[in-house]
Structure 1
Amino acid sequence: MSALLELVRSALAGEDAWVVGGAVRDELQGRRSDDLDLAVPDADAARRGARAIARAAGGHAFALSDAFGAWRATGPGSAPAWQVDLTPLQGADLAADLARRDLTVNAIARPLAGGPLVDPHGGAADLAAGRLRLVGPDALAADPVRVLRLARFAAQLGAEVEPSALAAARAAAPGLSGVPGERLLPELARILVAAEPERRTRGLDVAARSGALAALLPDAADDDGALAGGTTDLLAAVLDGEALRHVAPDARVALAARLADPDRRLAVALGVLLRHAADPDAALAPWRPSQRLRDRVGRLAAASRTLDAAALARLARPPSRGPVALAGPPAAGRARRRALLALGDVAPEGVLLAAAAGDATSPACDPQLDLLGRALRWGEHPPRPPVDGGRLAEALGLPPGPLLGLLLEELTWRADDGEVADAEAALALARALREGAG
Structure 2
Amino acid sequence: MFAHFIPTHFQYNCNQNNQAILHLHQLKLRLRLILHLTNGDIPNKILKKKKKKKKKKKKKKKKKKKKKKKEKEEEEEEEEEEEEEEEEEEEEEEEEEEEEEEEEEEEEEEEEEEEEEEEEEEEEEEEEEEEEEEEEEEEEEEEEEEEEEEEEEEEEEEEEEEEEEEEEEEEEEEEEEEEEEEEEEEEEEEEEEEEEEEEEEEEEEEEEEEEEEEEEEEEEEEEEEEEEEEEEEEEEEEEEEEEEEEEEEEEEEEEEEEEEEEEEEEEEEEEEEEEEEEEEEEEEEEEEEEEEEEEEEEEEEEEEEEEEEEEEEEEEEEEEEEEEEEEEEEEEEEEEEEEEEEEEEEEEEEEEEEEEEEEEEEEEEEEEEEEEEEEEEEEEEEEEEEEEEEEEEEEEEEEEEEEEEEEEEEEEEEEEEEEEEEEEEEEEEEEEEEEEEEGMLG
TM-score where L is the length of structure 2: 0.13
Greater RCO structure (CA 8 Å; 6+ sep): 2
TM-score where L is the length of structure 1: 0.13
Give 1 or 2: higher strand fraction: 1
Larger radius of gyration: 2
